[in-house]
Structure 1
Amino acid sequence: MKKNLMFLAVAAIGLASCNSGLKKGEGGMLYSIHEDKDGPTIKEGDFVAVNLIAKNDADSVLLNTYDSGQPSPSLVPKPQYKGDIFTALGLLSEGDSATIKLNADTMFKAMGQKPPGFKGKYVIYEIKVAKVISKGKLKDEIFKDRISQYFKTEGDKLKNAEPGKISKYVADKDLKVSKTASGLMYQITKQGSGPKIMQGDTAVINYTGQLLTGKVFDSSIKEVAQKNKIFNPMRPYQAIHIPVGVGAVIPGWDEGVQLLNKGSKATLVIPSKLGYGERGMQPIGPYSPLAFEIELVDIIHPNPNAPKPAMPQMLDAPRAQAAPQQ
């Protein structure tokens, strides 16, 4: 009996230490507000931009908005269940920071599925509220205009910061880059042999792509994907085939690949105008320069004897009407 009581006491102490400093909110949500600024709390329908790091119990990072260099924007929906992450946001205002701890089973049940490979009892969020635009009684047009202005201001900041990010990355990595007229920077790290690949050829490439923060977001190499915890068991890890010079890939790749011959390896530092531009593409944020390690494994030349595909017959396209004379 005493042993049982001792076990329960130890378990209670362990549970208390796991949730040390956290308060209990709706639906079993646990939270701690670290910075509590003045201002209205976030409400359903408001626009928010938050920086957050989501982890499991073992500190394995599930999501980190700091990697993309910008907070995650959202219109605040109605909570899916009592004590979800949107319930937690309702405790915060602009400038606040908090730790939010949610039961994983309850959370993923509401979402419809648990991410493959997820382990742990909780999902833990470290949140910093960067911006709140309250909907309140604002007319939709004014509300949308304020959100658009926020995106423009943030976009201008990212755009103006891009040259400095590129210069710092090149210096920190001690790269000896050459720069093309378009702004592409490259360093041949291993020289191949034979003629360079040309437009119309197909490039067979192994690659690893990363943000200039060092975060690897994609790779054709299984070991690299596993090391950087982006491995997808549904994906075949092998060299990819890219038709060259026909706009099948981002401009920085199209130009960079044509600098190589078979067997070459290179580092490409690609400004956003040659990448994903002002819009970005998850997990790549707007105005994000990128770095790629690429290897031109093989060159496949077009077969000159292959039959040319028949050109489809097309109706005349409508002509644009001339502007009326004033």
Structure 2
Amino acid sequence: MSVTTVPLRPVSKSGLWLMWFGVAALIVAAIGFAVKSTPRIGFEVVKEGTGNSPTRADVVLVKYEGKLDDGTVFDANEQAPMQVSQVVPGFSEALTRMKKGGKYKIVIPAALGYGDRDNGPIPAGSTLHFDVELIDFKTEAEVRAMQQMMQQQQMMMQQQGAPGAPPPGAVPPQP
């Protein structure tokens, strides 16, 4: 078996620069396309809160009003507890940027909301507009501890009986 060598012409410096310029232009175009195609939420701070922001594992207590593009209110609540990880992706992202006591305006594109499916009064493909106040938040561990404490109190009350009722095993008075 024989190997044939072929002489290559040297590449000029201007040719190398042109090649690198082309590669850089392709990279910039790819980044620009990726940024434009990634949906993002609109997030405006109306009143700055204080302290840390909740994480996806936390439970928040919020006051909110949700509207459609035409201004129709589709939901509102004065004190709604929510698991951050169990709301639509755009709302979850916004919650993790909030601080306790803060007020915010959020715009969630359909891709980060309910997408191409109807959800009650929200038509498919809807952009969602929210006014939100983060009242408070607790970690998942704090919520579990509170639930256990409440269950224990309920069990103790059941064991003690209702107020004013005779203790278990007592004989009721005869008329």
For the aligned pair, the TM-score class normalised by the smaller chain equals 0.5 to 0.7
Instruction: Determine what percentage of the aligned residue pairs are the same residue.
Output: 34
Q: Which residue identity lines up with residue 120 of structure 2 in the other structure?
A: Q
Aligned to 1:293: 131
Larger RCO: 1 or 2 (CA < 8 Å, sep 6+): 2
| Residues 192-224 of structure 1, C-alpha deviations (whole Å, 9 max, x = no match) | 001111121111011000001011111114xxx
Q: Are the counterparts in 1 of residues 39 and 109 from structure 2 also a CA contact under 8 Å?
A: no
Distance 2:141 2:128 in 1: 34
Aligned to 1:207: 64
Distance 2:71 2:121 in 1: 13
Residues 1-326 of structure 1 correspond to what in structure 2 (within 5 A)?
A: 182-221=39-78, 239-244=79-84, 246=85, 248-303=86-141
Q: Which runs of 4+ in 1 moved over 4 A?
A: none
| Residues 10-49 of structure 1, C-alpha deviations (whole Å, 9 max, x = no match) | xxxxxxxxxxxxxxxxxxxxxxxxxxxxxxxxxxxxxxxx
Flag structure 1 segments of 5+ consecutive residues without an equivalent.
Answer: 1-180, 222-238, 307-326
In our comparison, the structure showing a higher alpha carbon Rg is 2
Q: What is the SS of the residue equivalent to 1:220?
A: strand
Query: 1:182 Cα shift?
Result: 4.0
Query: 1:255 Cα shift?
Result: 0.6
Q: Which residue identity lines up with residue 278 of structure 1 in the other structure?
A: D
Distance 2:40 2:72 in 1: 22
Distance 1:267 1:216 in 2: 14
Query: 1:269 Cα shift?
Result: 0.4
Q: Are the counterparts in 1 of residues 39 and 111 from structure 2 also a CA contact under 8 Å?
A: no
TM-score norm. by structure 2 comes to 0.57
Q: What is the SS of the residue equivalent to 1:292?
A: strand
Q: Which residue identity lines up with residue 242 of structure 1 in the other structure?
A: M
Distance 1:278 1:201 in 2: 28
TM-score norm. by structure 1 comes to 0.31
RMSD: 1.7
Flag structure 2 segments of 5+ consecutive residues without an equivalent.
Answer: 1-37, 146-175
Q: Are the counterparts in 1 of residues 115 and 126 from structure 2 also a CA contact under 8 Å?
A: yes
Q: Which residue identity lines up with residue 122 of structure 2 in the other structure?
A: I
Query: 1:243 Cα shift?
Result: 1.4
Q: Which residue identity lines up with residue 56 of structure 2 in the other structure?
A: Q
Q: Which residue identity lines up with residue 141 of structure 2 in the other structure?
A: N
